[in-house]
């Protein structure tokens, strides 16, 4: 190795940089993940040139803003998540578990958008992409495929084709000939992402990047990758369920609290316009332990079904298990029922499930969880026309929640007759057609329902 070559040591798990090798990364605690990489780049004499961005100092009041219409993708869930469409020149990073549907989502986007698209794949051959494309019901005659991993060749071909949308699947497979390290290393990911961002900003071409994730669920590579891009989306969902959730973790052009819901089929992903229809099961008879709660994902209200099972502990230590709900939060609610309401649940097994395979962290479902547990404990079913929205405090009080009117309107729209909310929410109950029951403590709810 040349004396002039500069190297550094990077953790392949979290991207932390060190001046010398060590066995354990101090940042993430992983062992044997630190690798030496060459960071001195070769001269980029043959690299495709991009238009330079003006660096003159300008007063903010003198800057002329140019309104650019967003690109409508044809996928209403994705457009809603991005804040109204794809912004020209933006770089969007999508991460998720292997096999969750990232490539399917982007190939479906390529085939349904009415724009010239270049789909670059470093993981699949053109024949494999065509086989997946044949299963999708959409068709776009202006969709082009390139199987390449060299970032220089990709940018050169893209400058020749001039696509209106560029998709890279995935960023971890790309490499630059000016960095002497293997594809997927910290230096390669940072360099390739930097060149793609320069190309996107200079040509106003929006770019979608697929990113692999680590075993902890975070996007692999340096954290600076997420800082560099404009939008970071996370594709989630249990592979045993058909439903997929697309969440926004970062968005320079819209809200980061929105959620897109898809349903996986043989012919691709179907957008779910009304999430409540898939999260509430249809039953012939009322069963104990079932309650309906109203939650919010961003600005979107939706109804979720909560199932609880309370039984006498067969073994000495009672079990606590949850699916889609924080088990620590469940233990707090059980302690409130034990201490404040007098229910002896300390010697019983409690199992809780949020149907549909989604995860809920909205405190407004606390009241629904409490009622589902009490229903199973008493073996008395709740009325099928009522639902709940309220946070339960440590004193057993039902606390007020935000955007209560949106939740009530959603319940009213779906045909429910009664909703239980906190009496501390200041609203005009006369303007709603649904019956609103105001409760202050857990005891009040128990007396009204059982």
Tell me the backbone φ, ψ of residue 350, rounded to 5 degrees: -130, 125
pTM, two decimal places: 0.74
pLDDT tens column, 71-90: 998 888 899 889 889 999 99
* 340, 224 Cβ separation under 8 angstroms: no
Determine which of 276-280, 318-322, 445-449 has the lowest per-residue pLDDT on average.
276-280
Q: What pLDDT sits at residue 110?
A: 93
Nearest-angstrom CA–CA distance, 327 and 361:
11
Q: Work out the pLDDT band at 52, boundaries 50, 70, 90.
A: very low
Residues 449 and 382 sit within 8 Å (Cβ to Cβ): yes
Strands 386-389 and 418-422: what pairing?
Answer: parallel
Q: In this predicted model, which residue has the larger pLDDT, 128 or 236?
A: 128
- List, as own/partner pairs, every contact residues 274-277 make where C-beta atoms lie below 8 angstroms and the sequence separation is at least 24, other chains included: 275/300, 275/302, 276/302, 276/303, 276/304, 276/410, 276/414
Residue 5: pLDDT band (50, 70, 90) is low
pLDDT band at 221 (very low <50, low <70, confident <90, very high): low
Q: Residue 121 pLDDT > 80, yes or no?
A: yes
| Cα gap 238→187, rounded to integer Å | 32
Percent of the chain at pLDDT exceeding 70: 91
The percent of residues in the chain predicted with pLDDT above 90, rounded, is: 47
**411, 294 contact by CB (below 8 A):** yes
Residue 171 has what pLDDT?
92
Structural contact between residues 450 and 374, judged by C-beta atoms closer than 8 angstroms: yes
Q: How far apart are CA 302 and CA 269, in angstroms?
A: 20
- Residues 371-395: pLDDT tens digits? 999 999 999 999 888 999 999 999 9
Q: Are 323 and 354 in contact (CB under 8 A)?
A: yes
Name the pairing type of β-strands 143-147 and 117-121: parallel
CB 143 within 8 A of CB 119: yes
Give the position of tokens 């959603």: 410
Strands (DSSP E) along 97-177, which ranges?
A: 117-121, 143-147, 165-169
Q: Say if residue 170 is preceded by a cis peptide, omega within 30 of 0.
A: yes
């Amino acid at each position: 190795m040349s004396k002039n070559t500069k190297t550094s040591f990077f953790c392949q798990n979290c991207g932390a940089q060190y001046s010398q090798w060590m066995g354990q990364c101090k940042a993430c605690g992983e062992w044997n993940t630190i690798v030496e990489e060459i960071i001195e780049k070769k001269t980029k004499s043959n690299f495709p040139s991009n238009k330079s961005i003006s660096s003159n100092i300008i007063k903010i009041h003198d800057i002329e803003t140019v309104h650019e219409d967003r690109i409508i993708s044809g996928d209403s869930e994705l457009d809603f998540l991005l804040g109204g469409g794809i912004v020209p020149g933006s770089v969007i990073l999508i991460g998720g578990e292997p096999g969750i549907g990232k490539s399917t989502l982007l190939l479906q986007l390529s085939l349904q958008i009415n724009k010239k698209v270049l789909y670059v794949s470093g993981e699949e051959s053109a024949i494999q992409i065509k086989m997946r494309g044949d299963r999708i019901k959409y068709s776009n005659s202006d969709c082009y495929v390139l199987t390449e991993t060299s970032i220089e060749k990709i940018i050169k071909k893209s400058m020749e084709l001039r696509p209106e949308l560029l998709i890279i699947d995935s960023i971890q497979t790309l490499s630059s000939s000016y960095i002497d390290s293997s594809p997927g290393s910290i230096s390669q990911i940072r360099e390739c992402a930097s060149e793609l961002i320069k190309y996107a900003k200079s040509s106003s071409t929006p770019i979608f990047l697929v990113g692999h994730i680590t075993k902890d669920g975070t996007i692999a590579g340096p954290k600076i990758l997420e800082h560099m891009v404009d939008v970071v989306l996370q594709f989630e969902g249990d592979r045993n369920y058909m439903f997929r959730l697309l969440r926004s973790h970062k968005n320079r052009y819209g809200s980061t609290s929105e959620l897109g819901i898809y349903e996986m089929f043989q012919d691709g992903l179907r957008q779910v316009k009304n999430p409540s229809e898939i999260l509430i099961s249809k039953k012939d008879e009322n069963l104990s332990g079932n309650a309906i709660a109203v939650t919010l994902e961003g600005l979107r209200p939706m109804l979720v079904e909560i199932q609880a099972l309370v039984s006498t502990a067969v073994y000495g230590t009672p079990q606590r298990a949850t699916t889609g709900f924080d088990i620590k939060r469940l233990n707090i609610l059980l302690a409130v029922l034990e201490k404040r309401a007098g229910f002896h649940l300390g010697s019983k097994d409690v199992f809780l499930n949020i149907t549909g395979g989604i995860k809920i962290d909205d405190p407004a479902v606390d009241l629904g969880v409490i009622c589902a547990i009490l229903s199973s404990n008493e073996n008395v079913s709740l009325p099928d026309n009522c639902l709940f929205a309220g946070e339960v405090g440590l004193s057993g009080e039902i606390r007020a929640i935000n955007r209560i009117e949106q939740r009530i309107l959603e319940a009213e729209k779906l045909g429910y007759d009664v909703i239980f909310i906190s009496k501390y929410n200041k609203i005009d109950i006369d303007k709603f057609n649904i019956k609103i029951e105001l409760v202050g403590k857990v005891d009040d709810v128990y007396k009204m329902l059982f």
